[in-house]
Chains A and B, each alone.
Chain A
Amino acid sequence: MSIARTTALSAALGLALLAIPGTAQAQERQVKITGFGAMSGVVRSFGINSKAALEAAADRINRSGGVTLGDGAKGKIVIEFLDDRCNAEEGISVLRRIASSEALVAVGPTCSNVAEPLFGILQKKFGDAGDTGLQFPIFTDVAIKIGLAKISEWAFRNVPNETEMYATLFKWLKATKPNLKTIYGGVEENFAHSRATWYAVMKEVAAKEGFEIKGESKWLLEDTNFSNQAREAKKAEADIIAIAAHPFSTCGMLKEMARQGVKPKLLIGLTSSSSTETLQGCAGEAEAIIIPTSFAPINDQARAAADAVSKFKGSLDLHSGAAWENVFILKKIIEEQKVMAKPDTVKADREKIRAGLAKLTVTDGLIGKSKRTPDREAIKPYLFVHAKAGKWEVLHTPAVN
């Protein structure tokens, strides 16, 4: 065999070896994180922002070398995002699909009415052989209704603690605006989060701080006529009107209040309404409304994250901010727990991630450190923003965490 022929054959063999599937992957494995939430329907913006935040965070990690796996190899984070349409049945079906894939952990869902039944199909107590519930870790970024993670030991959340946020808000109002004595509520009766926030959070903590509750008006998420409710609010003559509703009906109510000349001394809004949606819908009527939130671009890190997410066509807010944080928290856990990210270690890797999430006592966040509670919830740092000339501006930063 001539030297030229031998060289050519060797080169061809070398090229063929390089082309064998798996060779490249052995050097660079994939860590699959699947996001899920509403990508269609009227809360689509939440899904868009979460997806963008997950992808932007994964991109940042991958660009800086990826994740170090249990055997020292480097892995890249791969994000997939599935649509649950903010529907409980679809959410459950999506989660089963994710669990049957090679995903190691899921981040989602958007809606509390999906999270509640979804957590219900997970194994309640880790290691309980008698419980055949799904054994898959979920690290929620958006669904915010209080107390949901306690449903299953596989459920973890990185959402703000509304009870603490509103308690601090009312305490601060009492100290800084002593002329405010009475409060009236407006509540979106058919949305789990809004309802829980008014009845179990705002109303309770305001009463504890000594505010007199003058009653509440109720409406539905898709309502268009708020004449009765605005009239009731006017009659109540409360110093504060607190609206526990999402942007569409918050704006509808605020516009009707403006028409009927309802002018409380102070407006308070729902955490989820501290978004661009509210300002896009009714910036004028929402002027000066105060909302507690767990995200605002107040430091270099938060501003850089907001820029990165905008490049993925999303907007960083208190919800998508949590999605961003979750990816970095998961990176740390994957490295500490020595996750392997191999096809034959999926089950063990999921258990390692669950164990890592359960061990957390404090996590890094965009605006500061978050504490973790024994029931797998977060106590995130927060601040109060108010609408000013069509923008959200930081009004006060309580000393927390």
Chain B
Amino acid sequence: MLFIDLLQSIADGLLFGATYSLIGIGFTLVFGVMHKINMAYAAASVAGAYAGLTLLKLAGLPPLLVIIMACLAGAVFGLLTYVLCFWLIPLSHPLATLMSTVGMLLLIDEIVVHLTAGMPVNYPTVMGGMVSLGSFLLRGDLMFIFTIAVLAMAALMYLIYRTRLGLATRAVSQQPVAAQLCGMRLGQVNALTFTISGALGGIAGSLIGSAVGLLSPLLIAPLTVKGLIVTVIGGLGSIPGAIIAGLLVGAAENVFQFVRGVTERDIYVMLLLFVFLVFRPGGILGADPGRN
């Protein structure tokens, strides 16, 4: 029975980890292109989910369309983040964009808190149900999120490796000066990257809202922390790495909770991050940065 419980715990964690994967993909995509961390990403994703829900209610659309609404809102927030925190800020300053995105994170958090008075909002379930194999249960909505994460990865890989935009993105990422000399517009490519990652964030936010069943500003801080952990463990800039790391972190978190309890859970997750930083600093699929 203990084994079944442990297995169930791993399965639940893996599936819930899909939500971390989606957030991790957004963090890693921006880092991959601009070599900058967008600390406001999870906050913008949750804000996208809120905006999507508001649009859905205003337009009186069916609940499933909340994902599309959140995707559109997320894209707008992504572009806004780029303009305010990157385009207007000198990119050469090592801390400027980091601090501006931290400021944006706090700003979005407080705006959401002020608009909602911090109250949790019921979020529509885009796909409910449980798949049961005896006493073993798998949540339908989390499997749906997992599928979306894999599809998002496939779509992004296609976009990056099979399209002109992807070619430009890679060129800007690897040799920004040479890319500009070849006629590519740095600002335009970066703006598009932020818009795409924002759209993905909107989808992630709405799926997380749907999985939790609620939206609350309380989601922002843990998602930011988990997104960063996933990005580092997966390998900075690696999209498949973010997916694997998301699932790994989700599963590890649930197993640590099952074995050691909720009060020790996060200690072990941080320890896992530390182990990666020491023994595999490049993450699961990232390039090894080497040591001094």
A interface residue numbers (CB < 8 A to B): 40-45, 48, 189-190, 218-225, 227-228, 231, 247-248, 251-252, 255, 259-260, 276-277, 280-283
> Are B121 and A280 touching (Cβ within 8 A)?
yes
Per CB-CB distance, the 5 closest pairs between chain A and chain B, nearest first, are A281-B120, A227-B12, A255-B213, A44-B118, A45-B117
Known: A227-B254, A248-B216, A282-B214. A276 touches B119 (CB 8 A): yes
Residues of chain A within 8 A of B257, CB atoms compared: 228
The reply to whether A222 and B218 form a contact with Cβ atoms under 8 Å apart is yes
Q: CA of A231 to CA of B130 in the docked complex: distance in angstroms?
A: 14
Complex formed: what's the CA distance from A293 to B167 in Å? 62
Tell which of B26-34, B58-66, B258-266, B269-277 binds the partner: B258-266
Complex Cα spacing A241 to B20, Å: 30
CB of B16 within 8 A of CB of A225, answer: yes
- Quick one: given A44-B113, A252-B214, A281-B214, are A223 and B262 in contact (CB under 8 Å)? yes
Task: Number of B interface residues at 8 Å Cβ cutoff, please give it.
Answer: 39
Task: Decide: B12 and A280 in contact? CB cutoff 8 A.
Answer: no
Smallest Cβ-Cβ distance to B222: which chain A residue: A222
Say what secondary structure dominates the interface of chain B: helix
A223 to B266, alpha carbons, bound, how many Å? Answer: 11
**Nearest chain B CB to A236 CB, angstrom units:** 13
Q: Indicate if B217 sits at the interface (CB-CB under 8 A).
A: yes
How far does the alpha carbon of A223 sit from the alpha carbon of B261 in the complex, in Å?
13
Q: How far is the CB of B117 from chain A (nearest CB, A)?
A: 4
Q: A227-B9, A227-B254, A251-B122 are in contact. List 12 more A-B contacts (CB 8 A).
A: A42-B118, A44-B118, A45-B118, A189-B263, A218-B261, A222-B219, A224-B212, A227-B12, A255-B213, A280-B119, A280-B122, A281-B214
Task: Specify which chain B residues have a CB less than 8 angstroms from the CB of A280 in the assembled complex.
Answer: 119-122
Which residues of chain B from 217 to 241 have any CB-CB distance to chain A below 8 Å in the complex?
217-219, 221-222
Would you call B219 and A224 a contact (CB within 8 A)?
yes
Q: A225 with B254: in contact, given A40-B110, A252-B213, A255-B213 (CB under 8 Å)? A: yes
User: For the complex, is B137 an interface residue (Cβ under 8 Å from A)?
Assistant: yes
Name B218's contact: one of A40, A219, A221 (CB within 8 Å). Answer: A221
* Inter-chain contact B117/A48, CB cutoff 8 Å: yes
- Complex interface: chain B residues within 8 A of A190 (CB): 263
Q: Are A281 and B16 interface neighbours, CB within 8 A?
A: no
Q: In the complex, what residues of A have CB within 8 A of residue B19's CB?
A: 224
Cβ contacts under 8 Å, A40 to chain B: 110, 113-114
Asked whether A218 lies within 8 Å of B262 as measured between CB atoms, the reply is yes
Say if the beta carbon of B5 comes within 8 Å of chain A.
Answer: yes
What are the interface flags for B101-122 relative to A under an 8 Å C-beta threshold, 1 for contact and 0 otherwise?
Answer: 0000000001001100111111
Q: Which residue of B lies closest to A280 (CB)?
A: B119
Is B172 interfacial (CB-CB < 8 Å)?
Answer: no
How many residue pairs bridge A and B at CB < 8 Å?
A: 100
Establish whether residues B119 and A225, one from each chain, have CB atoms under 8 Å apart when the complex forms. Answer: no
- Complex Cα distance, B214 from A231, in Å, reads 20
Structural contact, B12 and A225, CB atoms closer than 8 A: yes
Q: Which residues of B contact A224 (CB under 8 A)?
A: 16, 19, 208, 211-212, 219, 222
Closest chain B residue, CB of each to CB of A224 = B212
A228 to B265, CA, bound (A): 12
Residues of B within 8 Å of A260, CB to CB, are 130, 137
Give bound CA distance, A48 to B263, whole Å. Answer: 31
Q: Once the chains are docked, how many angstroms separate the CA of A224 from the CA of B119?
A: 15
Are A222's CB and B221's CB within 8 A? yes
Contacts of B117 in A (CB 8 A): 44-45, 48
Q: How far is the CB of A260 from chain B (nearest CB, A)?
A: 7
A231-B8, A252-B213 given as contacts; is B263 within 8 A of A218 (CB)? yes
Whether A189 pairs with B262 at a CB distance below 8 angstroms is: yes
**Residue numbers in A under 8 Å from B208 (CB-CB):** 224
Asked if B139 is an interface residue, CB under 8 A from chain A, the answer is: yes
C-alpha spacing A222/B119, complex, angstroms: 13
- A residues in contact with B250, CB < 8 Å: 225
* Alpha-carbon distance A281/B121, docked complex (angstroms): 5
Please determine whether B120 and A220 come into contact, CB atoms closer than 8 angstroms: no
Output the least CB separation between B165 and chain A (Å): 34
Q: Which residues of A contact B253 (CB under 8 A)?
A: 225
Provide 14 A-B residue pairs closer than 8 Å at the C-beta atoms, listed in order of the A residue: A218-B262, A222-B222, A224-B211, A225-B250, A227-B9, A227-B254, A228-B258, A248-B218, A255-B213, A259-B130, A276-B119, A280-B121, A281-B119, A281-B214
